[in-house]
Every structure is written in structure tokens, then in C-alpha cells.
Amino acid sequence: MARPSRKDDILKAALACFIEVGVDATTVEMIRDRSGASIGSLYHHFGNKERIIAALYLAGTAEYAALLEKGFAEAHSAEACIKLLVTSYIDWVVSNPDWARFILHSRGRVEASELGEQLREANRLHFERIQQALVGYREQQLFKVMPADCFASVVIGPTHDFARNWLAGRTRTQLSACRELLAQVAWDSVKA
């Protein structure tokens, strides 16, 4: 297995700092100290704290998208694809709770940053890939008729809401314990 890159070390250190003292209170120096990177290396890879924030956000969403992509290669039914949208999300959040908390609270900041367009493009490609995976099933009329922009909220909305509450410590039930239930709820909500 390959050793993490200096860039990965910096992102990992940044996440730890953001979780420990908050995004606003974290300084570039704190990230440098925690990562062991030189200031030149940090600025070479990122340039400033806002770019570190955006890179960390984009890396997390890309990791989830890659997990989903791998799953689509193995999902061969409408039901499997819909359930995959939920289970992949849950699996990623459970495996990366600090990263997930960071992402949930940083979207607006990244959208407003100089890398906001990169985020919008990554999201566009992600949703396009989901649509491609589902298009054949739509053509077979295996889903309820609903506005396309409503479909994603119906599928992932309950899971996203429960995940946010779980990440905030507002649930007694573990998110992973609801994995199959939430996947079934998503499927029942959209199947024709």
C-alpha cells in the first residue's frame, strides 16, 4: 500500500485541526505544525487556508462518489441502484464521521470560495453519473413519476436528515443500524 502523499498529510492534519478547534480558529500554522509540512510545501500544494478547506471538501465528496461508482458497476437493478445511493452514503459517513461533519458544515463556504466553480462542476458530474445509472430504469418506467429535481431528495433526504442528527449526537440509534431500513424506505418511496 502506498504511503499517503504530503498533500494527504496536510489535509488529514487540517481536518484534525478543524474538528479540534473549529474551521475559523484554525490557522495555517496550526495545520503546518500538525502535518509536519514546511510552510513552502503547504503553500505549494494549497496556497491558503480557504483552498485547504475546499480541497478537503472536494476530496471527501470525491471519495463518496468513487464508492458509489464502484457500487454502480455491481448493481444490476433499479432497486439495487436506489438502495446503493443510500447505503454508500451511510457507509461513507459511518467510516468518516469527522470528515462528514466538516462537509455538512462547509458547503456554503466552499461554494462562495474561489473553488466554488470546481465544486459545482464536481456536483454536476456526480449527479450526471447518477442519472446515467438510472436512465434505463426510468425508460422502463420503474420509478414513480415525479419532478427530476425532487427525485434525489426523496431518495436521500431521510438518510441525510438522520445522518445529520447522528453526527450531532442527537440519536440513540446508530446510523449503521438503520442502513437497510433507510435503503428500503428510499426504494419504497420511488418504485412505480
Nearest Cα neighbor of 77 from 158, 189, 176, 187 is 187
What is the distance between the alpha carbons of residues 69 and 15, in angstroms, rounded to a whole number? 25
What is the distance between the alpha carbons of residues 51 and 114, in angstroms, rounded to a whole number? 8
What is the distance between the alpha carbons of residues 65 and 127, in angstroms, rounded to a whole number? 10
Look up cell 469527522; give the residue. Answer: 98
Q: What is the pLDDT along the chain (192 residues), one digit of tens a residue?
A: 445 688 999 999 999 999 999 999 999 999 999 999 998 989 899 989 999 999 999 999 999 999 999 999 999 999 999 999 999 999 999 999 999 999 999 999 999 998 899 999 999 999 999 999 999 999 999 999 999 889 999 999 999 999 999 999 999 999 999 999 999 999 999 999
Whether domain 60-190 has CATH 1.10.357.10: the reply is yes
The domain locations on the chain are 1-47, 60-190
Q: What is the CATH number that goes with domain 1-47?
A: 1.10.10.60
What is the distance between the alpha carbons of residues 103 and 115, in angstroms, rounded to a whole number? 15
**Which pTM value belongs to this model?**
0.90
Q: At 13, is the secondary structure helix, strand, or coil?
A: helix
Domain 1-47 matches domain 60-190 at the CATH topology level = no
Given a contact cutoff of 8 angstroms between Cβ atoms, the answer to whether 33 and 68 are in contact is no
